[in-house]
Amino acid sequence: MGQFLTHLESPWDGSRHEARTLQTTHAGRPLVARYDLERIAREVERDSTYYNAGCLWSFRDLLPVQDDRNIVSFGELATPTLQLARLGEQLGLENLFLKDESRLPTGSFKSRGMSVAISRAKELGVTRVAVPTQGNAGGAMAAYAARAGMEAWVFLPSDTPEVNKLECELAGARVVEVDGLIGDCAALLREGQKLFSWFDLSTLREPYRLEGKKTMGLELAQHFGWRFPEVVLYPTGGGTGLIGIWKAWEELSGIGWLEDPRAPRLYACQSDGCAPIARAFERGERTAEPWQGAQTLASGLRVPSAIGDFLMVDALRASGGSALGVPEASITGWMRRVGELEGVAICPETAVCFEALVRLVAQGRIQRHEEIVIFNTGAAFKYVEALRAVPRAERPRFRPGDSVDWRALAAQFERSARL
């Protein structure tokens, strides 16, 4: 298994790099994994039961790990693609779906990237890892590192959601808070790295987290009968999710496994509290200027400057989609609305996609009949601070023996239903 990895490539300058040794970046830009797609087409059977096993590692022919014994996994089951029929009806959309990544180990899609990156790092002899994080990547890295028996260091902004800090500590990681943004965390990491030689698992500073994220696209295509839906909306920070989905389309096209070769239109969704990719896209630029004063409840999207900016912009353009930053104030309302209508607890990052969707439909850039998939990238329950800000009814409280005015109580809830 995993014998199809051939080399690493810099998408910035096209240079070719060795994949058998530990690699980071080239000239400050990401390296991506390349496979022998022709040989996969000849030797791997797409419809084997193996491919339909319904978990991330069933795709291991398209992943970099060479020896199965190095796989570090909690059983990353394929996530469901749920039709949002009630919300779709309200919005006048016939085919609205949510791919629910909150079911994954550690409650976010970050487990995909970390399962693959930690497995490959183990294979290449790494024993100590570190990451600067907005929260979920740290939680995932801490858990996979614990399972692999690696030492883990997590650097996070001090205003990261509390649950993220606690989950890292629960998994035995050394958690360092920084009064700053993710770039400040990365700077501190690099300072400590000189002494401790941690392997840096920062977004796109090693090639294999992206490979794990790619499995979101592979699963999506498999779910739709080996083709992609017309539209994908993705909450975008560092960009590996979005870039990974595009890489899945490119590789599946290259192998010839798609029943319908059309690419999905990708939309990168950001909050206007931190929207560097949306701004670069609107300006027609390929790289993004750092965003000043980044602030958003959608903590995973608070990435003022992304090393993979050009990969995102290239993918968005090639797909025929775009990027947009939507009002921060819309986040909590969408968390409530999706929860109330569909029972799904979406994270604040995903909430921005719903606001973006409504705007894109109003602009005529997404058609009402199209198949639309939004990714719920994380579990709302990890964001206690954001949940407290979600509009809700005043919660009544009684002592045993109190007399209750039931009609008044019902009226109170009725009013809150119109929040």
Ligand X SMILES: Cc1ncc(COP(=O)(O)O)c(C=O)c1O
The residues of the shown chain that bind ligand X, judged by CB under 6 A, are 108, 110, 134, 136-137, 203, 235-241, 300-301, 347, 349, 377-378
Q: Provide the minimum distance between the beta carbon of 395 and ligand X in the complex, in angstroms, as a whole number.
A: 27
Give least dist CB 8 to ligand X, A: 19
236 with 312: CB under 8 angstroms? yes
Give 110 or 223: the residue with its C-beta nearer to ligand X.
110
> Which of 288, 217, 5 lies closest to 119, judged by CA?
5
The closest alpha carbon to 235, from 357, 87, 53, belongs to: 357
Please state the closest distance from residue 65 (CB atom) to ligand X, in A. Answer: 21
Per DSSP, the three-state class of 44 is coil
Q: Among residues 304 and 378, whose Cβ is nearest to ligand X?
A: 378
155 sits in which H/E element:
strand 151-157
* Alpha-carbon gap, residue 273 to 326, rounded angstroms: 9
Residues in a beta bridge with 269:
235, 324
CB nearer ligand X, residue 15 or residue 295: 295
Q: Which lies closer to ligand X via its Cβ, residue 63 or residue 323?
A: 323
The rounded distance, in Å, linking the Cα atoms of 8 and 211 is: 12
Q: What is the dihedral of CA 207, 208, 210, 211, to 10 degrees?
A: 130
Closer to ligand X by CB, 61 or 349: give it. Answer: 349
The one-character DSSP state at 419 is: -
Show the tokens assigned to 347.
């994270």
Q: Which CB, 134 or 271, lies closer to ligand X?
A: 134
Alpha-carbon gap, residue 161 to 60, rounded angstroms: 33
Closest approach of ligand X to the CB of residue 349, in Å:
4
d(CA 96, CA 319): 19
Residue with tokens 């079911």: 103
Q: How far is the CB of 177 from ligand X (least distance, A)?
A: 17
In angstroms, give the least distance from the CB of 302 to ligand X: 8
The distance of closest approach from Cβ of residue 316 to ligand X in the complex, given in angstroms and rounded to an integer, is: 12
Nearer to ligand X, 37 or 173 (CB): 173
